[in-house]
Amino acid sequence: MIGSPVASELLSKINERRVLEFVQRNGPASRAVMARGSGMSAPTVSKAVASLIRNGFLEETEASEAGFGRPGKLLQLSEHKANVLGVVIDADTCWIGSARLDGAVAEEQSISFRTPKSYDGLLQAVINGLGEITGQVKDDLSERFRGVGLSVPGLFNSRVGETVMSPNLHLLDGQRLASDLSIEIGLQCIALQESHALCVGERMYGAARGMNDFAMLDVSTGLGLGIVSGGHLLTGNSGMAGELGHITVVPDGQRCGCGNRGCLETVATDTAFARLISKELGRKVGVQEALAALAVNGTEKVIEQTVDYLAIAVATVINIFNPATLFLHGQLMNSDPAIFKRVMRQAKKRTLSPSFKDCRILQSQGNKRLGAVAGIIDHLANELAPAFATIDNGNAELS
């Protein structure tokens, strides 16, 4: 195939992706710096840059590279055309924001709103929110934005882009939110299951940069799990792998959103913790209020029970997947280092000793917002050229 027009076109696109990723990672750079940093030849870089400018990914700035010799103009991500939008759908609150292609979220251009009660209401609220933060009517969005990434909860069939069942937000059941949104706003929209989005975000912009083997355990609203093994996100047959939250740990326990009883999700999440604190206080409180109540009159029984089940979740992930690193995402464990340590002590007791020793456990740095944004940025990069060619960022010349 080498030498054929198809191969030549593919190699050009691979080089473009490498140049774009260089600017995404390192910020504005001259062509010479890109060539030195990426190990590609100057003509190869120039050709890739020209195409990326033509397609609105990069733009030349007035600033030049400091130093000796003929100063080279710096190239940066196009401010007007190289932007994306992120949407996080959650059981209580949704978020919409814009970001650059390097993943920098413009917090001043973001909004949060209570999750509507119906699917049509949700779709309309997202469309309205996108208009509000961009100041543009939906038909003009494609002038500045390349796409929308959505983080969605529940079981998501990635083959057809459909939420099959969302135990904590049933209005999504059987719906194809990304597809419906795309029809409405005329922009490509990509949905990722929220735990998978957390993995992609952590790997692109968080503590998992460069890691090919890690797990992400989300114990916030529901209990979700994402696994990256050998550099690949484990999706299962149709994208529904990792539903650890719905294994039974309390036979005849609390009814779960999935219809079963006593699922791990009902006892090992921030939501479960808030429910137990609510019982103690005699009134319904959210996670933040539950944490505040804990700080004032720490309820040992509640902490002990939640810590125990969190430890079971951690031990299960390590025993089954043997990850090099396990990231934990949840407010309760982030709120107090002492609680995190207690979970670790319990988890150590419940995990096979060699597997526990082999695994680093860290708190996640990313969040679902970054996950949504990373989802669409990753998709755009894959559209430009397949990922397999860029995993090795060594000095192999592709021209």
Name the site residues for Zn ion (rule: CB under 5 A).
246, 256, 258, 260, 263
Specify the residue, 31 or 246, whose C-beta has the smaller distance to Zn ion.
246
Centre a 10 Å sphere on the Cβ of residue 240 and count the other Cβ atoms it contains: 17
128-132: long-range contacts, CB 8 A cutoff, minimum separation 24: 129/87, 129/94, 129/96, 130/85, 130/87, 130/96, 130/185
Residue 101 or 155 with smaller CB distance to Zn ion: 155
CA–CA–CA angle 321, 249, 295 (5° rounding): 90
Nearer CB in complex with Zn ion: 153/201? 153
C-beta atoms surrounding 64 within 10 Å: 12
**Residue 166: CB minimum distance to Zn ion, A:** 11
Residue with Cβ nearer Zn ion (88 or 263): 263
Least distance from Zn ion to the Cβ atom of residue 191, Å? 21
> Which residues 6+ apart lie within 8 Å of 263 measured at CB?
223, 245, 246, 247, 248, 249, 253, 256
HEC assignment per residue over 116-134: CCCHHHHHHHHHHHHHHHH
Using the minimum distance from each CB to Zn ion, give the nearer residue, 263 or 339: 263
Residue type, 362: L
- Residue whose CB is less far from Zn ion, 16 or 243: 243
Give the phi and the psi of residue 328 in degrees, each rounded to 5.
Answer: -115, 135
Q: Pick between residue 214 and residue 309 the one whose CB is nearest to Zn ion.
A: 309
Q: Closer CB to Zn ion, residue 246 or residue 329?
A: 246
In the complex, minimum distance from the CB of residue 84 to Zn ion, in angstroms, rounded to a whole number: 33
Non-local CB neighbours of 292 within 8 Å, separated by 6+ positions: none
Q: How far is the CB of 222 from Zn ion (least distance, A)?
A: 9
Q: Give, for 46, the enclosing helix (H) or strand (E).
A: helix 42-54
**Least distance from Zn ion to the Cβ atom of residue 269, Å:** 11
For residues 204 and 149, give the distance between their C-alpha atoms in angstroms, rounded to a whole number: 14
The Cα–Cα gap between 332 and 393 comes to: 38
Q: What minimum distance in Å lies between the beta carbon of 257 and Zn ion? A: 6
DSSP collapsed to 3 states, 13-36:
HHHHHHHHHHHHHHCCEEHHHHHH
CB of 224 to Zn ion, least distance (A): 12
> What's the closest the beta carbon of residue 263 comes to Zn ion, in angstroms?
3
Collect all residues with Cβ–Cβ distance below 8 Å to 104 and sequence separation of at least 6.
Answer: none
